[in-house]
Structure 1
Amino acid sequence: MNKITYKELFSAMLAFELGSAVLFVLGASAKQDAWISILLATVAALPLVYLYVTLYKMHDGNLPQILEVTFGKAFGKVLSVIYAIYFLYIAARVTRDFAELNIGTIYKQAPVSAFSIAILVVVMYYLVFDISVMIKSSHVLLPTFIIMAFFQFIGVFSVNCVTIKKIFPILGNGLMPVVKAAFPNILTFPYGELITFMMVFPEFKFNTNKLTKYCFALVVTTGLWLALNTVEIFSVLGVAEATRANFPFYELALIMKFGTFRNLDPFYAIVTVIGGVIKITVFTYAAIKTIQTIFNLKEYKFLLIPVGTIVYALSILIADSYPLHILIGLKLTTLYIHVPLQIIIPLIALILSFIRNPKTSKK
């Protein structure tokens, strides 16, 4: 596997984090204070990411290996199977997200299956090589994200109705709605999804001190980016329209203009394609590597077609409609899947690691 730099890893993780998150208004239940909920969850995400890096530092292994050491071989394998299913399920959810986003906005006559297949073909092509290719590609593509964000920032001022007053009054509904919007929803999406990189870190033998600094920088950058994105959307669309719209980022792209150039659908499409492919690739890779570790396989590439087929089938079957898909994602998935697998089990693993005092790798 090719060696990657910390900057390349940072780029991949940032593109992964922004992925689908930038397209929505996170913490919409907090209304005009959603950006505060994002910043609050960002602060809470720092110890969560530190938890992931610490587990990697103590065991110098990937997630299934850590689970077998801390929970015992038998129960550890059971948990590993659960995580493999989890990664497949979230890969399918993200695939469905981007399929629905495209057919709900730009390509309204296309079937969901067509976009799911198109995205997964690109994902499988990346994984035919190895994850380092995707990471290096992310580093090359990240400037596109930055350029698009710059044009978005400039573009909002082209809208006649833009005003920062739309996010006031701050904390007009009190502090509790802000806290409830941040925990667990924003903490688990997008920050808790970084648990997938526990399947990536061991492949490149990172220095954990430097890795911690880059991960902290990543969390802060993501939080500021998403908070600013939310403020921009609210400042243009207003709180009521932004929280009601299925695709507020797309609505913003339609309203913005640069002189006589008004059709900014390509701007929207570029962000969705880049973010979607990177995010689905990482989740699919995490699922495949988990399966490889469980069965102690020397090679994983023969799993690409079966796993890709499963992700495709799940992306179609997980919900009959987009509203149901979103409802399941925001309510059931967050509380009953994300919280146990992203927070509770890793925390228990860390406690057991300290109790059993395994040999800590010195890096």
Structure 2
Amino acid sequence: MEKAIISSLQLFYILIGFELGTAIILGLGSGAKQDAWLVILVSTFAGVTLMGIYLKLARFYPNDTLVEIIPKLIGKFFGYPVIVAYILYFIYIAGRVCRDLGELLVSTILVDTPIGVIIATFMVLVVYCLRGGIETLGRMGEVVFPIFLLSLMAIWILLLTVESFNPANLTPVIGNGMKPVLKEALPKTLSFPFGESVIILMLLPFLKNKRKAAFTGFAVIFISGIVLCVNSMLILSVLGPELYEKKFFPLLSATRLVSIADFLERFDALIILMMVAGVFFKVCGFTFCAALGIAQLVKVKKIDSLLIGLGTIITPLSLLIGGNFIIFLKTGLELITNYVSPVMQIIFPSLLLCMALIKNKNQTKKLS
């Protein structure tokens, strides 16, 4: 298996791009109306706890990926089905993210282009990048993420100029109580996007300085949480809670309202470019982890052929997930986010950590 090494900064860029990915453009916490930003805030603190579980588990096995940790804790017989489940989960989420991108592009700038062509072309780019290894993805993060962040800040400033911008749309705070906030936060917003950072367990063995793993992991959750919270507050101030809930891509809808002196308009192209960049890191992350997991499961040294195979699987999978965009969203929000993701992101890692603590305690007793 490859022994590529990435710096803590490169890991940060990969994960922050991964976390923001599609989340920056979607209406997180929309079910809580004007308190959507509070949903993200609550989910951020829950995400920090979740990241603590991942990091604590990784500390027991600093040189092993999640796929290598599982059989060491629960044995090969029970471990292999869990490993296969994680691989399938990574592949499925990669397909969902590709579909998000395809739907956005088809509904905006590539109206007459078949969605399958868009996704297939995008996957060719993903596979081409990943064939260079995780180091290549890390270097791309160093180049792309600063541009991504500057573009987002420019969009935020432009949203302040929109005529309909009204911070009063954020009130009353907790007007409907905490129940809608907690219902949206747990597990929905915790699972997406914060829980998806479970892939850090597949990437930490490649980290050059493992002493910086904790700082990097927690920084990713805190910063992505702050960015998403501010983003949600600005969109709510422009659109209001009703439109925020109804729009598929609320940031895009809000940006389309920007008009400076009736001359500078159509900044939505910038949003689309940001979406493409974010989705790229997200799909790359899940695809790489799936390929790495398969390689470690079947003891293959090179993942190049696996990446090509996954590219050909993810493209049609993204189209088969839902017959139309409404069904696609409903499946993701009601089934995957509420039931499947909590098992893969919270329950399994928590059980593995408990087993690791018990095993470490028993070994300590034997040595003493």
| CA displacement at 1:204 relative to structure 2 | 2.9
- The residue aligned with 1:302 is 305
Letter in 2 for 1:339: P
Which secondary structure state, in structure 1, belongs to the residue aligned with residue 24 of structure 2? helix
Partner of 1:164: 167
| Correspondence for 2:25 | 23
Q: Distance in 1 between matches of 2:339 and 2:304?
A: 31
The amino acid of 1:140's aligned partner reads: V
1:331 alignment partner in structure 2? 334
TM-fit CA distance, 1:335: 2.2
Residue 62 of structure 1 is matched in structure 2 by: 65
Q: Which consecutive unaligned segments of at least 5 residues does structure 2 have?
A: none
> Which aligned pairs between 1:5-84 and structure 2 lie closer than 5 A?
5-60=7-62, 61-84=64-87
Amino acid at match of 2:322: A
Q: CA deviation at 1:53?
A: 1.3
2:225 corresponds to which residue?
A: 223
Q: Does 1:183 align with 2:165?
A: no
The one of 318, 321, 337 equivalent to 1:318 is: 321
Take 2:71 and 2:283, find their aligned partners in 1: how far apart are those partners?
Answer: 26
Hey, what does 1:135 align to over in structure 2? 138
Cα distance in 2 for residues equivalent to 1:305 and 1:83: 19
How far off is 1:2 after superposition? Answer: 4.7
Give, in whole Å, the separation in 2 of the partners of 1:71 and 1:205. 28
CA distance in 2, matches of 1:264, 1:333: 33
The equivalent residue for 1:246 is 248
Instruction: Indicate the percent of aligned positions where both proteins have the same amino acid.
Output: 33
Residue type at the aligned position of 2:23 = A
The one-letter code matched in structure 2 to 1:355 is I
- Mark the CA change 1:112 to 1:231 in structure 2 (over 3 Å): closer, same or farther: same
Please list the CA deviations of residues 92-113 of structure 1 after superposition, one character each: whole Å capped at 9, or x if unmatched.
0111111011112222222210
Q: Output the TM-score relative to the length of structure 1.
A: 0.96
Equivalent positions of 1:190-205 (< 5 A) are 190-205=193-208
Matched residue of 2:349: which SS?
helix
Matched residue of 1:357: which SS? helix
The SS at the match of 2:163 is coil
Aligned to 1:352: 355
Secondary structure at the counterpart of residue 44 of structure 2: helix
Count of residues in correspondence between the two structures: 359
Q: Provide the C-alpha distance between the structure 2 equivalents of 1:207 and 1:287, rounded to a whole number of angstroms.
A: 22
Report the 3-state secondary structure (helix = DSSP H, G, I; strand = E; otherwise coil) of the residue aligned with 1:22. Answer: coil
Give the alignment's Cα RMSD to 1 decimal.
1.4
Question: For 1:54-103, what per-residue CA distance to the aligned partner results, in whole angstroms no more than 9, with x for missing partners?
Answer: 11110121011111011111111111011111100001011111101111
**Alpha-carbon separation, structure 2, partners of 1:167 and 1:298:** 53
User: What amino acid is aligned across from residue 149 of structure 2 in structure 1?
Assistant: I
Which consecutive residues of structure 1, in runs of 5 or more, have no partner in the other structure? none
